[in-house]
Structure formats: structure tokens, C-alpha cells
Amino acid sequence: AFYFHHSPPPWIGDVTDLSTKNMFPYIGGNHLGPNTYGPLIDDHTKPCPFNFTRMEAETKCVSAQEAVHGTESLKRLESIKKKVDPNHMFECFRCIGMPDPLPSTSPLPSPSTLPTTSPLPSTSHANKIPLIPVMFGTIVTLLVI
């Protein structure tokens, strides 16, 4: 049976202690969004300001992965990822070992390198997806699940 205690369990202090520079987790993994970062690198008691640019947040705030997994766990998970998935077959947004899809240091293309005309869409029936079979397959899949 599970009983509620009036005093917290002895390990609760270790879980909630954010005073060290190599222990988080600061953010739950299910709250990880595109503009989520950990606290300021210089002061872990202050959150990363929302008005920071992406470049500022990446240089002045703890990374999202480190904020979710913790410094030590992130290093361990990254080494496991390198061994298990050396060819990067399993990738997702802000997952362990995932390179940033939008490098913050890459310059925008100059206007001279951009295409001047856009290609016209093909009207060939071979390039169109048959809608009825796709809808049927989706509905059957949802019913099976």
C-alpha cells in the first residue's frame, strides 16, 4: 500500500536542488518547445529571458537538452546515442545528439544566389496523390488503433 507522509522523502532535496552548475533537470521533457531554454548560464536562479534573440539565448542560456536531462545525464545520453545510432537514423526536434536544424551562424543567402523565377507546378496526373485511397487508409488506420 502507498501511504502519504507528512514529511517529504529524504531524497526530495537532491531532486529539487538547483544550486549546482551540473545538476538540473530544470524543464520537463513534455514542455520542450522551439523557444525553450534553461536558465541563464551565469545565474541559474534566473530564467532565460523571452525577449532574447535566438543567438543570445543559445550563447547566454543553458541549452534545452541540458535543462531537461541535466549536464551529467546529457553527456551520458550523447555517448550512448553515438554508439547506438552512429549514422543518425533516429532524429527528431531537440532530441539527444540532434544537430540544430537552423544554424544560428549561417548567413542568409544573398539575393544574387536566390532563384529569380519559381518553377510552375506540374499538372500531370502522375504527380498527384489519389485522395480517396489516402483518406481510406487513414480512416482504417485510426479505426484499428
Residue 42: predicted pLDDT: 92
Residue 61: predicted pLDDT: 92
Residue 97: predicted pLDDT: 82
Please give the grid coordinates belonging to residue 41: 548560464
Domain limits of the chain?
20-104
Residue 4: predicted pLDDT: 54
Flag residues of the chain having pLDDT under 50. 1-2, 105-110, 126
pLDDT by residue (tens digit) across 29-70?
A: 677 777 888 889 998 889 899 899 888 998 999 888 888 888
